[in-house]
Structures are given as structure tokens and as C-alpha cells.
Amino acid sequence: MKLDVLAFGAHPDDIELTCGGTIIKLGDMSYKTGVVALTRGELGTRGTAEIRRQEFEAAGQVLGLSVHKMLDIPDGQVAVTQQNKLKVIREIRAHQPKIVFAPYWKVRHPDHGHASDLVREAAFFSGLKNIDTGQPAFRPNKVIYYASRFEFKPSFIVDITACHDRKMTAVQSYGSQFYTPQAKKLGDEETNISRPEFLEAIITRAKQYGSYIGAGYGEPFLVREPMRLDDPVSFFGSEYLQGLL
Ligand SMILES: [Zn+2]
């Protein structure tokens, strides 16, 4: 299945939290979208690998994906190795996405930082025909980075106002990880991300980024290289008068 957009996350819930609204929006625009989690999230303090798999599937329904899968890299061991690069290259070649989303490289969780490097390198090497996976060589047009805990000055912000409710529904599919009023399990150890404040912070941040572009909610993205723009006159329309950009 060929895709327009393929988003890689280190863990099953990473994409929903960081760029889930954008994935939903692109799906609404009839682009074919996919999400690949590099690990199954089995090191998580709460939930089991099986519960997380069910939650992953439920969240994927909300995101409206054409491709949704988990790879078998062990959680906590996302490293930039040749073996792992080949796993990512196989996904890129199988789906030939025009753009790839990857985590920003400066992060708190080591898996996210390694995932950033792993996906960027795999996207490059995927274009070399002498790296043999039994598939044609293919390089995506661009790797674009999404933010998790550490922020960056965004290259652009996507207005996700129309998809924000669905994004939060997808996030709350992960009842073992995040706070949901109906899924308070006695005995589950509280974690950094299971408190209601964590989800409030996700929502507040989306509102903050939305405010920069005159929208209700937004998600920030970073492009490492300079961006080419052929027609600044038409690109910078009157919508730029509405926000703080
Ligand atoms: Zn993660």
C-alpha cells in the first residue's frame, strides 16, 4: 500500500500525542496516512503489551489510517544499528511515503532520540539501490520532525482545530497510559503521564501553538533544512494577519 505520509513513533502512543491531529487532518484531506511504532511499548510501567496492542488498534481507528503497525524492536533498545535501519527501510520502501514524520532529536526519553536518528538515516539509505531488501530503492521527499517533551522553534504549525476532539479521543484510547475518568484502576501505579495534568498540558500546548497562527489548536513541526518557497506572495496570504507569525 503506497502512502502519502508515514509517521514513525518509538512507542505505540507517541504519534497520537505529538502529531495525531495533523495525521487526522491529512486523512480528512484524502491523503493516505500510516503510523509505524518501532516498539510494542512493553517497558511501560502501566498496562501490558497485549493491552497496549488493543489500545493501539483502537487509536488507529480514530486516526483513520491506511497502514498501522508495530515493529519488533525491543522497548528501551531503539538503537541506530544496521539491523534496525533495515527494518525501517523495509517499511519506507514498502509504502513509499512522500513525507515521513519522525520525533525531534532532542528529547527526554532516549528511545525517542534514537528513533529520530534511526528514521532520518533509514530515509536516506532507503534511496540507495545497493542496500538490498528485495524491494526497489525509494527515498521520501522530506523527513519532518514533531515535538514531544522538548520544544523547538517550529518551521511551521498545522491548524488542527477541526480534528482536536478526535485527536484527544485517539489519545484516550490508551486507557492504561493516560488519565480517563472511567478507567481508574486501583493498584495501577501512577506515572508521570497517567495524571490528569499530563493531558491538560497536551491540550494547553496545542492551544498555545494554535494561538501563534490564529487557530484554536495547532501542532508544531520542524524541518532541518531550509525550506524552498517559489511564490512568497501567494504563500503569505491574509491569514498571516490573524496570528502572531
Ligand atoms: Zn514514546
Band of pLDDT at residue 240, cut at 50, 70 and 90: confident
Q: What is the pLDDT of residue 186?
A: 46
Q: What is the pLDDT of residue 181?
A: 66
| Ligand 1 centroid, distance to 225 Cα (angstroms) | 25
Per the prediction, the chain carries an average pLDDT of 92
| Ligand 1 centroid, distance to 113 Cα (angstroms) | 10
**What number is the average pLDDT over the span 53-61?**
93
- Rg of the chain, C-alpha, whole Å: 18
Percent of the chain with pLDDT over 70: 93
The backbone torsions φ and ψ at residue 80, rounded to the nearest 5 degrees and listed phi first, read -85, 80
Find which of 106-110, 132-136, 184-188 is predicted with most confidence, using mean pLDDT: 132-136
Q: Torsion-angle region of residue 160: left (phi > 0), alpha (psi -120 to 50) or beta?
A: alpha
Question: At residue 63, does pLDDT exceed 50?
Answer: yes
Burial of 145 (0-12, 13-18, 19+ CB in 10 A): buried
Q: Edge-to-edge strands of the sheet including 33-37?
A: 67-70, 33-37, 5-9, 99-103, 142-146, 218-222, 156-159
pTM over 0.75: yes
Q: Where are the alpha helices (DSSP H) in 67-195?
A: 82-95, 110-125, 164-172
Q: What is the pLDDT of residue 155?
A: 97
DSSP β-ladder status, 5-9 and 99-103: parallel
| Ligand 1 centroid, distance to 134 Cα (angstroms) | 30
DSSP 3: -
Band of pLDDT at residue 48, cut at 50, 70 and 90: confident
Per-residue pLDDT tens digits for 170-210:
999 988 877 766 655 545 667 777 777 889 999 999 999 99
What residues form DSSP beta bridges with 5?
33, 99
Neighbours of 223 (CB within 10 A): 13
Q: What is the pLDDT of residue 46?
A: 74
Q: What is the pLDDT of residue 177?
A: 77
Burial of 148 (0-12, 13-18, 19+ CB in 10 A): buried
Per-residue pLDDT tens digits for 19-32:
999 999 999 999 99
Question: At residue 239, does pLDDT exceed 50?
Answer: yes
| Ligand 1 centroid, distance to 14 Cα (angstroms) | 5
Q: Report the alpha-carbon distance of residue 124 to residue 126 in Å, rounded.
A: 5
**What number is the average pLDDT over the span 67-85?**
96
| Ligand 1 centroid, distance to 101 Cα (angstroms) | 14
